Structure 1
């Protein structure tokens, strides 16, 4: 399952372009301190660091979850869930739409238990969709001001 949205405000005719490097730094900050970006996450603690990422414990909706975080520079951050019966992984992906605008995508892969729930419980997919649709909206609202390109006095991107 995935959700994609533009990072520039589509309702603004003179939207400042996204600086992908600033966006990437903001996504790394989100991975280490998600409480400022994801309303359902109320706590985060880095448990261990590795050459290719880190292990973190988060509290989401009152539940403790452990995730192995693996950044793929300037493109994607993978959050592998450890011991979660419903979700195997979540990815945050920087992309580009057909018009060339920068996009942000959340991709999830269900674990075996989540796939079974999706087939057995009629509300599971609906509530999962609602949760991630709300989550991507909150994340993008936080990312937009942090990822816009800096313009010089003549309006050229720096």
Structure 2
């Protein structure tokens, strides 16, 4: 099982480029990304909603060339949870909006397993490292895309 959690300051000076985001703006961006990840995540080339119940929906994405489905659960202005329903890796990804000492943060965490791959193996470690780097890039590009939309 791969368990990784990282927290990024939303309005860090080096990242904000003069555009500070509030909780509502981050939330709206996360919902937009959940419904259509293509403008936010370069590794996703397709994203379609196949079943929609408002705050819960199933989306089909093509991620790094692999077609897979995810159940997405929205917890208003708090968290977006992605439950991987198909694909080579199974697990849960969470994007959580946090506040501490007046600062806004975005935490991303994932808990994944690779069916058929031994826990602690070199293959699992390679996957974990690649996934961590990809998701860190995705969170940064998501915040930048939200900033770009807010500033327009």
Q: TM-score, normalised by structure 2?
A: 0.82
| Structure 1 unpaired stretches of 5+ | 149-158
Post-superposition Cα deviations, 1:58-116, rounded to whole Å, max 9, x if no partner, equal 0111110100010000100101100234231111111124x4211112111113538x4
Offset from partner CA, 1:4-62 (integer Å, 9 cap, x none): 21111323799554221122112111111110111100111110112541111001111
- 1:67 and 2:74 correspond: no
Deviations 1:126-150 (A, max 9, x none): 22222222222222221234468xx
**2:81: which partner in 1?**
78
**Equivalent residue number for residue 127 of structure 2:** 124
The CA distance in 2 between the partners of 1:62 and 1:112, in whole Å, is 17
Query: Is 1:104 aligned to 2:106, yes or no?
Result: yes
Consecutive unaligned residues of structure 2, counting only runs of 5 or more, are none
Q: Runs in 1 of length 4+ with deviation above 6 angstroms?
A: none
The question of whether the paired residues in 2 share the 8 Å contact of 1:57 and 1:66 is answered with: yes
Query: Does the 8 Å contact 1:56/1:68 carry over to 2?
Result: yes
Of structures 1 and 2, the larger Rg is shown by 1
- Is the CA contact (8 Å cut-off) linking 1:118 and 1:125 kept in structure 2? no
Per the normalisation by structure 1, the TM-score is 0.79
CA-CA distance at 1:2 after TM superposition: 1.4
Of the candidates 27, 47, 59, which is equivalent to residue 30 of structure 2?
Answer: 27
Instruction: Find 1:93's aligned residue among 92, 96, 99.
Output: 96
Seen in structure 2, the aligned counterparts of structure 1 residues 12 and 87 have a Cα distance that, compared at 3 Å, is: closer
Bigger share in strand: 2
Matches of 1:87 and 1:101, distance apart in 2: 32
Which stretch of the first structure deviates more once superposed, 52-61 or 134-143? 134-143
What is the number of equivalent residue pairs in this alignment?
A: 146
